[in-house]
């Protein structure tokens, strides 16, 4: 893949990415020569067996970790080579995160958690941004919970707060790491529908790491990793087709 072309057509991408840990006998190749671009306004799932490099790829794409080799792009900007301070600013302004464990601030209520990205960036939301946040709160069924702290909410409600927080700033891309991993299957499906709707109805770009075939079946595209490399890159698939592909990959790895 041509890195420059990827930068023009994609909202986030990596070119010839390598991530290595340790040296000599201890050397672990987490990712080797991975090139992939994530489409703007698309829901992309990253799947693969345990240890295949999913989290590492997500962390490097999101500027949470630095590459050992290759380039990383966010929109038209190369972010590989940026220092910690610049990466922190970039993550605050241009990237949203949704984690398996929700990662809400326990001492802040729902409103405080959703406003956090603005606060950390030292700015007040504009009137337009406030209107968008109000619409999100209504859509996510959180309007009557604004004064509640995370421990007063169910897991599904907490994840909805995390989704609202991620969507509030309309980031270039949202990275979701096993967003349904801590939820029962019914609540998990509700969360997946919300993510799907953010892509379909609001044009948000989402990259989701998961090993749940049902979660990945909500995506427009599924990138399969095996042993630190991309082994398949597909359009939408059913959960059954995804399970079969995973079994095949795990069979090869065994």
Binding-site ranges for ligand ATP (CB under 6 A): 21, 28, 30, 48, 50-56, 211
| Nearest distance, CB of residue 106 and ligand ATP, angstroms | 25
Residue ranges of alpha helices (H) inside the chain are: 3-9, 54-61, 84-94, 110-120, 127-139, 155-168, 185-202, 213-216, 239-253
CB of 222 to ligand ATP, least distance (A): 14
- Using alpha carbons only, give the angle 214, 98, 125 rounded to the nearest 5 degrees: 135
Residue number, 23 or 85, with CB nearest to ligand ATP = 23
Show the tokens assigned to 1.
């893949």
| Residue closer to ligand ATP (CB basis): 21 or 81 | 21
Nearer CB in complex with ligand ATP: 21/41: 21
Could you give the C-alpha distances from 233 to 22, 131, 220, 226, 229, in angstroms and in order? 29, 38, 11, 12, 11
In whole angstroms, what is the distance from residue 187 CA to residue 80 CA? 37
Q: What's 75's DSSP letter?
A: T
Q: How far is CA 234 from CA 35, 183, 215, in A?
A: 15, 26, 15
Q: At its nearest, how many Å lie between ligand ATP and the CB of residue 167? A: 24
- Between 20 and 132, CB nearer to ligand ATP: 20
Task: Give me the least distance between CB of 109 and ligand ATP, in Å please.
Answer: 31
Q: How far is the CB of 172 from ligand ATP (least distance, A)?
A: 22
How many CB atoms sit inside 10 A of residue 15's CB? 23
Q: Which is nearer to ligand ATP, 22 or 122 (CB)?
A: 22
């Amino acid at each position: 893949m041509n890195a420059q072309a990827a930068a023009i057509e994609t909202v986030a991408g990596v070119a010839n990415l390598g991530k290595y840990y340790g040296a000599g006998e201890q050397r672990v190749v987490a990712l080797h020569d991975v090139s992939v671009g994530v489409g703007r306004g698309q829901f992309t799932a990253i799947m693969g067996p345990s240890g295949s490099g999913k989290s590492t790829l997500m962390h490097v794409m999101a500027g949470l970790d630095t590459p050992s080799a290759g380039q990383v792009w966010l929109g038209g900007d190369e972010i590989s080579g940026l220092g910690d301070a610049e990466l922190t600013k970039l993550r605050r302004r241009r990237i949203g995160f949704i984690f398996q464990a929700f990662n809400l601030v326990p001492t802040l209520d729902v409103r405080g958690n959703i406003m956090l990205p603005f606060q950390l960036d030292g700015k007040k939301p504009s009137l337009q941004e406030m209107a968008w946040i109000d619409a999100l709160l209504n859509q996510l069924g959180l309007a009557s919970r604004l004064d509640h702290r995370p421990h007063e909410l169910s897991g599904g409600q907490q994840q909805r707060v995390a989704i609202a927080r991620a969507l509030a700033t309309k980031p270039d891309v949202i990275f979701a790491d096993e967003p349904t991993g801590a939820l029962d299957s019914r609540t998990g499906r509700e969360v997946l529908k919300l993510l799907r709707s953010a892509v379909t109805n609001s044009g948000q770009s989402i990259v989701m790491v998961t090993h749940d075939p049902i979660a990945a079946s909500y995506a427009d595209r599924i990138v399969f990793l095996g042993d630190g490399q991309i082994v398949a890159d597909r359009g939408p698939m059913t959960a059954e087709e995804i399970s079969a592909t995973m079994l095949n990959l795990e069979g090869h790895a065994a």
